A = this chain, B = another copy of it.
Amino acid sequence: MSGQVGERISAVLGNRKLTLLIKHADLLNVFTGETYETSIGVYKDRIVYVGDVAEAPSASSTIDAKGLTAIPGLVETHMHVESSMVTPSRFAEAALPHGLTTAFADPHEIANVMGKAGVKAMVDDSRGLPLKLYFYAPSCVPESKAVTSGAQLTPEDIDEMLGWEGVWGLGEVMDYSAVLNGDRKMSRILESAAKRGVVIDGHAPLLTGRDLNAYIASGAEADHENFTVETTLEKLRLGMYVKLRGPYVLDAKKFADALKTLPHPYNLIFCTDDVMPDNLAHLGHLDYACRAFLEAGMDPVEVVRSVTLRPALHMRMPHLGAIAPGRVADILLLKDLRKFTIDLVIANGVPVAKEGKLLVRIRRRVLDGSARETMKLGPLGLEDFRVEPPVKNGPVYVNTVDFGESNHEDKGQAFAEMILTKLSRSKVDVVDGKLSLGDKAMVFVFERHGRNGGRSFGFVRNLISDGALATTVAHDAHNLLVVGTNREDMCMAANLVIRSRGGIAAVRGKETLARIRLPIAGLMSDRSLLEVSKDMEGLRRAFKTMGVLDHPYMPLPNLLALSVIPHARITDKGIFDVDGQKFVPAFAN
């Protein structure tokens, strides 16, 4: 028999050698929930035999897996490569040892900077990696009209990308207001995805009841914005694939307990969303979520199904997510299922990582050259950080964006309270034209895509107490965001970032405390994840001395310019009242 099907069959029947035979593994069967000792035969990239070792075909290579538990390779359905600040090939290097063998990523960060060309660069860099990396077509670029992004994606662009090889669904439909308000552009995007029958990923943090029903009826199939047990159960009941992000932003124990009350929740999935480089290096990827839910007392079968079979069903990829004949040979051998310690990772039939160490060389690609030319700002001077109060002396009223402080014991609630800013009004004294900031810091956002050269200014509270932070990792438009308490440090931090064509810099008292160079789209590096992670650790240390509001999941300054998160943000266009959908001036007089 010719062709791949024929080769597989003859390998099972012994007319050709298996390329790999794993003997004596304890297979956790995701279909039946059983665990039993068996052998697994692989021919090239596929599993072709699962059964008695005595009956197994002969193989050119064998692994004795006595005492190890075999589970399918992990499938991630909601994440952003850019959040780990490395290119797709570098991400693959780092994530494979954690058992990730397939990922569906939404490249909306790079798309905000570079548009279709950015998506294409990501797809190209991912081709042929041992980590199967698929992409969603980003649905909301820019995130709203309140920002200037580097690019806009039209419904036609999105429809075109949905037809690309390597693009496998519509990315998280974040602009749920546009969905519910009947926005014409959003409607066209949803219709085109529906017509193509592709997976539509969602984003519905606060929706419930009728609004949530309407959002799901629009076609959104999944949601990862799950902070509370109640809304999570509501989404499960309404047929959404609910993606729990692991323990950064939710209380695993609380969720594990609540889910135990359901007789098999069919559409429960774990995902990571954004994994900072240091977290990826030290805590892991999807495996970290698995460990957390296992520790929280969730049944191992449910944990494994949530990262293998169910995500494969969700993504309509029946050849993934299971150890069975005909499926892609993505297999993890675990030393300890309950601790989720991975001994060996096999991807596409090839052992790729052992005890956390990569076994294969991953060819580094260079993203399209234009990806390194996205910083369109020249050096800034102190005058670019000058603030002109409306009075020379005396008190003025200012609008400030206040970050919350949260002592909530529930992690999900705490993170939610931290990111939900509020707009407030307070008094600032001006003496000889100089502001006395008090508990406030200054914010400058510079449009950096060469679109209009716009810039804005505002005040923020509870975000930084000393020094300056400049960053192009400023969701979603990724303009140059500079926050700080004095203009000297702010100017210096900004120039450090501009000089490295993007990245992050922390400066205090004219001293550079930390710096991450991210020359690729101002978001990513092509250095190794470990190197970038070290920089990130340095940045987190700097944050502590500078009093920058940090969170293990993501530093809060990254979200200051994100105009779709309530209740107030500062974009390149000014201070944005998210609830009122209008801009307010920095000086309120």
Contact = CB atoms under 8 A, between A and B. Distances in A.
Which 4 pairs, one residue from A and one from B, show the smallest C-beta to C-beta distance?
Answer: A239-B324, A33-B263, A1-B182, A12-B214
B187 A238 contact: no
A213 B262 contact: no
A226 to B, nearest CB: 15
Report the copy number of this chain in the oligomer. 2
A31 B221 CA distance: 13
Interface in A324-357: 324-327
11 contacts: A1-B184, A5-B190, A5-B219, A13-B211, A32-B266, A33-B262, A50-B237, A51-B210, A219-B326, A221-B326, A264-B264
Interface string A270-298: 00000000000000000000000000000
A413 interface: no
B210 A326 contact: no
Interface string A111-146: 000000000000000000000000000000000000
A167 to B, nearest CB: 15
A255 interface: no
A218 interface: yes
Interface in A185-219: 186-188, 190-191, 194, 209-211, 213-214, 216-219
A230 interface: no
Contact of A239 (B10, B14, B233, B327): B327
Nearest to A187: B1
B182 A32 contact: no
A210 B8 CA distance: 12
B209 A2 contact: no
B263 A31 contact: no
Instruction: Classify chain A's interface size.
Output: 35 or more
A187 B3 contact: yes
A68 to B, nearest CB: 19
A183 interface: yes
A210 B263 contact: no
A154 B576 CA distance: 64
A55 B52 CA distance: 56
B55 A209 contact: yes
B318 A318 contact: no
Contacts of A34: 237, 262-263
